[in-house]
Structure 1
Amino acid sequence: MVSSEPAGERSPSPAVARALTVLETLVESDEELTLTALAKKAKIPLATCASIVYTLEQRDYASRRVVGRSHFWRPTLRLYGLATQLIRKVDLSSVANREMRQVADRLGMPVHLGVLTGTSIVYVAKAAMPGFVQFDTYPGKVSHFNLTALGKAIAAFLPEEELVPLLGHLEQGYGPKAKPVDEASFRAELAKVHKQGYAVEDQEEQADIACVAAPFFAAGEQVAGAVGVTSFSRDLNRDKRKQAQEALVQLAATISERLGTIA
């Protein structure tokens, strides 16, 4: 449970500390909270908590649902908007450049880092050692989100309100293993990705090409992007795919830590 004032440490600004505690309590709660429940969880006097939460509502960081005489509070995505702006200012191409090159060298495959922009995945970084087959993947390349392992890895961890708008823009792949373009099938695939922690795309976007990717997260555990490898489908066999999965999950954890996610 969050605490308004850590043990043995007095905040330089108790008012700010209490406001942050209320916001953190709202975000960490799995359900809407009444004012009384919120004040109790945050360990803040009821009147003070009320002033804070009404200010958060005024600034669009919190909203409430009124049922009879009860008011139920929850956080909004405004905080996520601030985090997204911060992420865009972080040079993702260099946040784990050395580790990306190590994975590329170890697997013998180019490693890519991508982010979701609208319904597209934008490749923002690439690591490939000299002599590797140079696939048509480069910083700045844009691909439709549901046709890439990077996009699936990100979509599987999006909040429902951000995923729903994307589901109306699924595109059909041109590869021999292209999957049906329907919401139910795609949701089922995302549920599998979410459970296992990585995504696979095998000859869906185009023939002979396969990809594996794992998501990374920013502070607040919001998915921020994904890191993946690209190879010929024939080369990404069972053993090689397992190696790629393990390496990418570890690489994604390293990136998440550097973006502020607490392990």
Structure 2
Amino acid sequence: MAMTAQKDPVVQGKGDRPASPAVDRALTVLEKLVGAEEGLTLTALARATEIPLATCASIVYTLEQRGYATRTVVGRSHFWRPTLRLYDLAAPLIRQEDLSEVAQPHLRALADELRMPAHIGVLDGTSVVYVAKAAPPGFIQFDTYPGKVSPFNLTALGRAIAAYLPDAELEPLVGTLVAGTGPKAPRSGARAFRTQLAKVRQVGYALEDEEEQADIACLAAPIFDAEGRVSGSIGVTGFSRDLTGPKLAYAVDLVVRHGREISTKRGF
């Protein structure tokens, strides 16, 4: 069934006026807290931001409730500071940005050597997101691109990540398996999928062959960060006939090696 893309409405402020004054004020307060060398009282914060005291109070109380601000009481004065939850908010974006940048030369090398598009994937909920790509020249181009989202269990990129997740993180994902529509798609089941992931850990790479789409296969290896956690995967996509026998063995060696090299660069 054809899907028609719907565009979000574009909302613009007039001149220098923000489209959402409430959001603008909240961000102003947050930026002022982050930039201050020490805690600020409500009075000082309202004065520094030029935001009415009552509005400023509502903002910092909300930030406190959400865990982005904390206060210290000294006598009758309350001093407000930001919390490290702001780092937690930004950390996934920082990791993705860093991963994509570090991986670029490796993606290019894989694409040139194997004559297949190479990708970096990260897990986002129950989906794997393609965050970087390098493609070889040629008329045949696969439908993969940065920003593409696929069910994590139907791609080698997703399986290479899932195989190394702590069980507490893997358990909720196993209950969301999507059945493939390719000619070699197995029956989807938690037990069979866990067995598949155990094999991935054993051999060090994941392979998906005509499970999501006829004639298409993909191969991927995990990438780890400085703390030893799996943070993404690197892989290639090609025709199924090009990822068999000696060609597969050669591709596995290259993909796994580049995965290890990227992990080393990221402190693993």
Shorter-chain TM-score bucket reads 0.5 to 0.7
CA distance 1:146–1:245, shift in 2 (3 Å): same
**Is the aligned partner of 1:224 residue 2:231?**
yes
**Is the aligned partner of 1:131 residue 2:138?**
yes
CA distance 1:83–1:244, shift in 2 (3 Å): farther
Paired residue for 2:212? 205
Instruction: Point out the more displaced range, 191-200 or 89-98.
Output: 89-98
2-structure distance, mates of 1:110, 1:248: 12
Note the alpha carbon deviations across 1:80-101, whole angstroms, 9 max, x for none: x978953521423221211211
**Is the aligned partner of 1:195 residue 2:202?**
yes
Please tell me the residue identity of whatever aligns with 2:156.
Answer: A
Which of 158, 167, 175 pairs up with 1:168? 175
- For residue 150 of structure 1, report the CA deviation from its aligned partner: 0.5
**Is the aligned partner of 1:89 residue 2:94?**
yes
* Count of residues in Structure 1 that have an aligned counterpart in Structure 2: 183
TM-score, scaled relative to structure 2 = 0.65
Paired residue for 1:114? 121
Note the alpha carbon deviations across 1:200-245, whole angstroms, 9 max, x for none: 0000011110000000001111000000000010121211111111
Instruction: Point out the more displaced range, 236-245 or 226-235.
Output: 236-245
CA distance 1:134–1:218, shift in 2 (3 Å): same
Instruction: Point out the more displaced range, 104-113 or 233-242.
Output: 233-242
- For residue 129 of structure 1, report the CA deviation from its aligned partner: 2.3
Mapped contact 1:209–1:231 kept (Cα < 8 A): yes
Instruction: Point out the more displaced range, 126-135 or 173-182.
Output: 126-135
CA distance 1:206–1:84, shift in 2 (3 Å): farther
1-structure distance, mates of 2:232, 2:164: 10
SS in 1 for 2:255: helix
SS in 2 for 1:106: helix
Which of 101, 105, 110 pairs up with 1:98? 105
Please tell me the residue identity of whatever aligns with 1:181.
Answer: S
Mapped contact 2:103–2:120 kept (Cα < 8 A): no
SS in 2 for 1:253: helix
1-structure distance, mates of 2:139, 2:247: 16
Paired residue for 2:267? 260
Q: Residues 10-21 of structure 1 correspond to what in structure 2 (within 5 A)?
A: none
Q: Residues 8-157 of structure 1 correspond to what in structure 2 (within 5 A)?
A: 85-90=90-95, 91=97, 92-131=99-138, 133-157=140-164
Alignment gaps of 5+ in structure 2: 1-85
**Bigger Rg over Cα:** 2
Paired residue for 1:26? none
In the TM superposition, structure 1's runs of 4+ consecutive aligned residues that sit over 6 Å from their partners are 81-84
Mapped contact 1:110–1:132 kept (Cα < 8 A): no
Mapped contact 1:109–1:132 kept (Cα < 8 A): no
Please tell me the residue identity of whatever aligns with 2:93.
Answer: R
Mapped contact 2:207–2:218 kept (Cα < 8 A): yes
Note the alpha carbon deviations across 1:33-54, whole angstroms, 9 max, x for none: xxxxxxxxxxxxxxxxxxxxxx
RMSD, aligned CA = 2.0
2-structure distance, mates of 1:113, 1:86: 18
2-structure distance, mates of 1:194, 1:228: 16
Please tell me the residue identity of whatever aligns with 1:123.
Answer: Y
SS in 2 for 1:200: strand
Mapped contact 1:87–1:224 kept (Cα < 8 A): no
TM-score, scaled relative to structure 1 = 0.66
